Structure 1
Amino acid sequence: MDNWFTSVPLAEKLLKQHKITVIGTIRKDKKELPADFVNLKFQDRKVNSSLSLFSENVTAASYKATEKKLATLISTLHDDEAIHPGSGKPEIIMNYNETKGGVDVLDRLCQDTNTGRKTKRWPMAFF
């Protein structure tokens, strides 16, 4: 999922009611995430460091890729803080990167579609 759609209540509902697991980026201003989890400067986090949060069904991962870039994801598929041996990134991020093709297609379609028009007079817009 893309960060426009991802939320902890939605992920829990999809898992409980429909048995659908979710991996998605989540906005940093969501109330479900603590401030120190999404803040780039908290405790001088080092580059390539990660933090994880766990609840009953949802796992969240925060990975500081560069000084100014922080990736925050949630997953109902993962239940541990496994790190990929080759890249040093959390497994949640590696799985998201492998399966985000649908997210990229949706973003591309939304970007290419323009619903605006140059005039407010509908006959001019129609003809």
Structure 2
Amino acid sequence: MSTVIEQAVEARLVASAPLLETVPATLHYDRADPFAVRIGFPAPATLEGADVSWAFSRDLLADGVEEPAGLGDVRVRPYGFDRTVLEFHAPEGIAVVHIRTGELRRFLDRAQTLVPSGSEHLHLDLDRDLTALLGDTR
């Protein structure tokens, strides 16, 4: 069984104009990093002209599809009947995207099947993480 889930989604970038620009995005979940999810945007969809990826808590995404969640760089909240808003706060500004709530729920269900909530600690490799943190100290 694969330890990684990727799902392409259609994100609507909210700009100052009344139209919403559609941009491709990819949701990513890896059992090796069981507490986190990532969303990536390809270079043509970003102001920097480079691929951009945001990592944040899987619980934040799960909570945010039901009610407003997050106080930091990433905030998630329901919007209307079938959309969820993701806000990404950076020194350069704020990016706001809308994603269909059903797509987010499908992604979260797949992640839940791979690593059930509450069992994330069973998938951590603390020895590997500690070695990476400390480097080669010999």
Q: State the TM-score bracket (shorter-chain normalisation).
A: under 0.3
TM-score (normalizing by structure 2): 0.26
Q: Which has the higher strand share?
A: 2
**Greater Cα radius of gyration, structure 1 or 2:** 1
TM-score, structure 1 normalization:
0.28
